[in-house]
């Protein structure tokens, strides 16, 4: 991602399928779609009756998924209201995401369940379910596209093979809620952050029999990432960086070759709810409780752009570049 294209982007009509897109959602019951280069808000989607807890964009760029209180909604990018409302979910839906070909979607929530939704029909249905026994705060998909990493309020981290139904449970710290979980795109590391501000890192490796056994996990280190509640962790697309976000108002970026602190981005007096890297791993989008999203240049720790329009806290981000996968 580069910022030199501002003038070009400002003079072009907005095409959500082929242009870069930033989606933001929060406590004002709306989702906003932005041109990330210009900072212009191109469309506001209504998310009635609930805050937005999680967002993701299907790989071909045509659909936006949103999770909220007792809601999972799919939006066609061309319209302001959801085209599909999923029934049968209770409590908060905390995570949504897609398999790389868009064939299925995964969700997790405070009803203690992770669900797999078949996206191959006009009326997507739940095909598989995993019960974590305690509320689910986080779910992410392994690059192998068959394993899900899950973080629960009970403090457990699970690896679940959605095909074989084999699973493994890890407990990195007792009496601590796992707030988010991430796996690096190269499949080398898994990270999890908890409500005590700690970040745990595992090295990952393929099992001897990958057809029947889960990815092997080896505890690597614990990082005292924040003095307050940690909220999110994400790896960069090139797997060289890890960011953690917190209620202390910071996004802290670590280099994955040493896991030493590389940069700290700070907003005074507000929570840093979410973050996502640009595709070149040189910029970071953040969402905070002051109702603003920001684009930071990591090298200089400077704010390159701000996105104003939400009336309350922004709690979820999704970003894609302009090259939709078909």
Mean pLDDT by groups of 10 residues along the chain of 326 residues = 37 60 97 95 92 96 94 88 82 97 96 95 90 97 97 98 95 97 98 98 84 88 96 98 97 98 96 97 97 98 97 97 61
At residue 16, the pLDDT reads 57
Residue 30 is predicted with a pLDDT of: 96
| pLDDT score recorded for residue 210 | 59
Helix (H/G/I), strand (E/B), else coil: 1: coil
pLDDT of residue 271: 96
pLDDT recorded at residue 86: 82
DSSP string, 41-74: EEEEEE-TTS-EEEEEE-TTSSEEEEEEBTEEEE
Question: What is the distance between the alpha carbons of residues 171 and 46, in angstroms, rounded to a whole number?
Answer: 38
pTM of the model: 0.92
Residue 100 sits at φ, ψ, to 5 deg, of -60, -25
Nearest to 234 by CA among 253, 219, 247, 215: 253
Cβ atoms of 304 and 292 closer than 8 Å: no
Q: Give the pLDDT confidence score for residue 4 in this predicted structure.
A: 36
How confident is the model at residue 326, as a pLDDT?
Answer: 43
Question: Dihedral sign, CA of 324, 317, 32, 113?
Answer: positive
Q: What's the pLDDT score for residue 213?
A: 84
Residue 5 pLDDT:
38
DSSP of 96-138: EEE-TTSSEEEEEETTSEEEEEE-SSSS-EEEEEEE-SS-EEE
Contact between 32 and 309 under an 8 Å Cβ cutoff? The reply is: yes
What integer pLDDT is reported at residue 270 of this predicted model?
Answer: 95
pLDDT of residue 157: 98
């Amino acid at each position: 991602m580069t910022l030199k294209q501002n003038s070009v982007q400002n003079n072009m009509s907005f095409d959500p399928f082929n242009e870069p897109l930033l989606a933001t959602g929060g406590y004002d019951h709306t989702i906003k779609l932005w041109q990330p280069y210009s900072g212009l808000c191109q469309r506001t989607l209504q998310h009635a009756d609930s805050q937005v807890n999680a967002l993701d964009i299907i790989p071909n760029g045509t659909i936006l998924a949103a999770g909220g209180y007792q809601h999972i909604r799919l939006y066609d990018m061309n319209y302001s209201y959801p085209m599909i409302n999923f029934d049968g979910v209770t409590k908060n839906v905390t995570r949504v995401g897609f398999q790389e070909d868009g064939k299925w979607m995964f969700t997790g929530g405070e009803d203690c369940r992770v669900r797999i939704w078949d996206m191959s029909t006009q009326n997507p249905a739940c095909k598989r379910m995993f019960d974590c026994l305690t509320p689910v705060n986080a779910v992410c998909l392994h690059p192998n596209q068959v394993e899900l990493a899950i973080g629960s309020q009970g403090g457990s981290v699970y690896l679940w093979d959605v095909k074989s139904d084999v699973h493994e449970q890890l407990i990195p710290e007792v009496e601590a809620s796992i707030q988010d979980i991430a796996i690096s795109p190269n499949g080398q590391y898994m990270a999890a952050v908890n409500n005590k501000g700690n970040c745990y890192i595992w090295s990952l490796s393929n099992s001897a029999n990958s057809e029947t056994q889960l990815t092997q996990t080896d505890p690597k280190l614990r990082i005292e990432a924040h003095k307050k509640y940690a909220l999110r962790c994400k790896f960069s697309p090139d797997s060289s960086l890890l960011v953690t976000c917190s209620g202390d108002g910071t996004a802290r970026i670590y280099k994955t070759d040493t896991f030493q602190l590389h940069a700290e981005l700070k907003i005074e007096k507000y929570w840093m709810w979410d973050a996502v890297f640009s595709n070149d791993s040189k910029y970071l989008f953040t969402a905070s409780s002051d109702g603003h999203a920001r684009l930071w240049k990591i090298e200089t720790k400077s704010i390159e752009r701000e996105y104003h329009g939400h009336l309350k806290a922004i709690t979820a981000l999704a970003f894609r570049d302009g090259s939709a996968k078909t």
